[in-house]
């Protein structure tokens, strides 16, 4: 987790003409990296129990514009709000510049506008979590729905930013109707990755709210009918991860066979490598009882897998799938 410039490196190496990107495309990739860092910070807020650091106030923090003599939890939460504001400003710049540089109806304009809509809904969902007090030690089932919605919106935001950067880098427009069955395969693949992400978010929430001292204790609680729902849901996440991995492997192989262009092959290889690493990291997370650092690395890989799946779909379903 080195930072915005390195977190997307496995994916960016597969981008065609990466060294020839213009300033806007470079900026778009940087904005994507900035948002990944903000996402990780948000996960740290949850994992550290700092979600109530600003109380039930939004957009103010404990009733103040800038908290005075804040506690550590307040600094963590307030810092996340500041970073989210920075991400919003970056995306505003993305949209304004897209409107100046690209003609009406251009796909870069469309993707940048989607990113703007999702960053606004991201802020509103975050506000809802705070105002409804679904933070810190709240164990209500309603919190799981909000967390799932938050993760879904985050993935859609990341997907829109990825497409903005990809299309600004010269990616061809999508032709989903012309690819028929391949489009359906990718729709199921993207949907399954999204579902797995929601499952992982709720599982991570359970790890935070119901920590255990030993692996044996955690296993016993996971399969206990009297344990909290968040804990019992952990039994399904590994099986779902394996199933999604099989489908992603099939999707990548099918994409390469349908369009054996170098770009498609590179994205397919990167996606499968990232997913293999994720499975290993997931097992490590369980054995080490979900330490915060491993949770954040696990989330980062989830985001990179999503980005890889979006780029593989975009390159495979493009008007010209022979992009090199």
294 beta partners: none
In angstroms, the CA 113 to CA 106 distance is 11
pLDDT band at 4 (very low <50, low <70, confident <90, very high): very low
Q: Report the pLDDT value the prediction gives residue 159, as an integer from 0 to 100.
A: 98
Average pLDDT of every residue of the chain:
90
Q: Report the pLDDT value the prediction gives residue 279, as an integer from 0 to 100.
A: 97
Q: Report the pLDDT value the prediction gives residue 319, as an integer from 0 to 100.
A: 65
Whether 152 and 198 have beta carbons less than 8 Å apart is answered as yes
Burial class (CB in 10 A: 0-12, 13-18, 19+), 319: exposed
Q: Which of 28, 272, 299 is nearest to 168 (CA)?
A: 28
Q: Report the pLDDT value the prediction gives residue 311, as an integer from 0 to 100.
A: 98
Q: Which of 18, 17, 11, 15 is nearest to 33 (CA)?
A: 11
pLDDT by residue (tens digit) across 141-167? Answer: 999 999 999 999 999 999 999 999 999
pLDDT by residue (tens digit) across 219-231? Answer: 999 999 999 999 9
**pLDDT (mean) for 107-135:** 95
CA 322 to chain centre: 28
- What is residue 260's DSSP assignment? -
pLDDT band at 2 (very low <50, low <70, confident <90, very high): very low
pLDDT by residue (tens digit) across 231-246? Answer: 998 899 999 999 999 9
**pLDDT (mean) for 191-206:** 96
Work out the percent of the chain whose per-residue pLDDT is above 70: 91
- Of all helices (H) and strands (E), which one includes residue 218? helix 215-222
The residue that leads in pLDDT, 66 or 41, is 41
CA 314 to chain centre: 17
**pLDDT (mean) for 114-126:** 96
- What is residue 62's DSSP assignment? T
> Which range has the worst mean pLDDT, 94-98, 123-127, 318-322?
318-322
Whether 196 and 238 have beta carbons less than 8 Å apart is answered as no
The residue that leads in pLDDT, 14 or 118, is 118
Whether 45 and 299 have beta carbons less than 8 Å apart is answered as no
pLDDT by residue (tens digit) across 162-188? Answer: 999 999 999 999 988 888 899 999 999
Q: Where are the domains of the chain?
A: 22-170, 174-324
pLDDT band at 8 (very low <50, low <70, confident <90, very high): low
Predicted structure pTM score: 0.89
> Which range has the worst mean pLDDT, 3-17, 37-51, 140-154, 279-293?
3-17
Q: Report the pLDDT value the prediction gives residue 86, as an integer from 0 to 100.
A: 95
pLDDT by residue (tens digit) across 47-87? Answer: 888 877 887 878 878 778 888 767 888 899 988 899 999 99
> Which range has the worst mean pLDDT, 75-79, 96-100, 181-185, 281-285?
75-79
In angstroms, the CA 265 to CA 323 distance is 11
């Amino acid at each position: 987790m080195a930072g915005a410039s390195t977190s997307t490196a496995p994916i960016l190496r597969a981008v065609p003409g990466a060294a020839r990107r213009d300033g806007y495309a470079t900026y778009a990739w940087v904005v994507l990296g900035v948002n990944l860092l903000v996402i990780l910070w948000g996960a740290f807020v949850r994992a550290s129990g700092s979600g109530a650091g600003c109380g039930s106030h939004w957009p103010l923090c404990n009733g103040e514009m800038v908290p005075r003599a804040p506690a550590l939890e307040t600094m963590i939460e307030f810092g996340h709000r500041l970073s989210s504001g920075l991400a919003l400003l970056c995306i505003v710049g993305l949209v304004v510049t897209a409107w100046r540089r690209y003609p009406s109806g251009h796909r870069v304009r469309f993707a940048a506008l989607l990113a703007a809509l999702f960053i606004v809904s991201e802020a509103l969902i975050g506000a809802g979590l705070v105002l409804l007090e679904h933070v810190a030690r709240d164990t209500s089932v309603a919190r799981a729905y909000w967390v799932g919605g938050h993760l879904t919106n985050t993935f859609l935001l990341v997907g829109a930013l990825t497409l903005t950067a990809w299309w600004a880098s010269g990616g061809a427009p999508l032709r989903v109707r012309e690819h028929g069955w391949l489009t359906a395969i990718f729709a199921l693949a993207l949907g399954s990755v999204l579902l797995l992400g929601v499952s992982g978010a709720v599982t991570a929430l359970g790890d935070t709210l119901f920590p255990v001292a030993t692996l044996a204790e955690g296993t016993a609680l996971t399969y206990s009918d009297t344990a909290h729902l968040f804990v019992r849901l952990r039994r399904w996440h590994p099986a779902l991860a394996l199933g999604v991995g099989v489908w992603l492997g099939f999707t990548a192989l099918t994409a390469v066979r349908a369009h054996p262009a170098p770009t498609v092959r590179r994205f397919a290889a990167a996606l499968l490598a990232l997913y293999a690493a994720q499975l290993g990291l997931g097992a490590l997370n369980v054995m080490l009882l979900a330490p915060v650092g491993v949770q954040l690395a696990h989330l980062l890989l989830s985001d990179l897998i999503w980005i890889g799946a979006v780029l593989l779909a975009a390159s495979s379903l493009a008007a010209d799938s022979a992009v090199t």
